């Protein structure tokens, strides 16, 4: 597609439910990143993939958070047993090769998650 897309754009869930957030990167982009942005804060790194391999998951806050990219394209970020503190904007980004440190990351519009 023309840009990075994310779905759903808004998600309201009850505490304890599982949610799955989807990211569709720019076609052909090797690297895919997930960030979380709390209100009034900048995005914080969660995890990233090169192709289907998860290269770094150091930013995932706990084991309720997981991500996958099974075919090296679309990625899903899953949050199990959601808690109110998980409420945030979840942003996905992709980049062409992931090998150049100054390479541009292209961001999607984000998924706004609200846990009641």
Q: Give me the residues that bind another protein (CB under 8 A), please.
A: 3-4, 31, 33, 35, 40-45, 48, 55-56, 59, 91, 93, 95, 98, 100-110
CB closer to another protein out of 14 and 100: 100
Closer to another protein by CB, 48 or 65: give it.
48
User: Within a 13 Å sphere around the CA of 22, how many CA atoms are in the beta-carbon half?
Assistant: 7
Q: How far is the CB of 72 from another protein (least distance, A)?
A: 16
Count Cβ atoms below 10 Å from residue 53 Cβ, excluding itself.
9
Pairing of strands 111-115, 10-13: parallel
3-class SS of residue 84:
helix
Cis (ω within 30 of 0) for the bond into 8?
A: yes
Could you tell me the smallest distance in angstroms from the CB atom of residue 16 to another protein? Answer: 29
Which of 86, 90 has the CB closer to another protein?
Answer: 90
């Amino acid at each position: 597609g023309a840009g990075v897309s994310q779905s759903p754009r808004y998600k309201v869930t009850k505490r304890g439910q599982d949610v799955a957030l989807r990211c569709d990167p720019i076609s052909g982009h090797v690297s895919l990143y997930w960030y979380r942005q709390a209100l009034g804060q900048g995005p914080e790194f969660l995890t990233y993939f090169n192709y289907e391999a998860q290269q770094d998951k150091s930013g995932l806050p706990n084991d309720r958070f997981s991500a996958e990219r099974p075919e090296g394209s679309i990625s899903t970020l899953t949050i199990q047993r959601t808690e109110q503190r998980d409420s945030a904007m979840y942003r996905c980004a992709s980049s062409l090769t992931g090998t150049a440190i100054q390479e541009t990351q292209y961001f999607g519009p984000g998924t706004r998650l609200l846990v009641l």
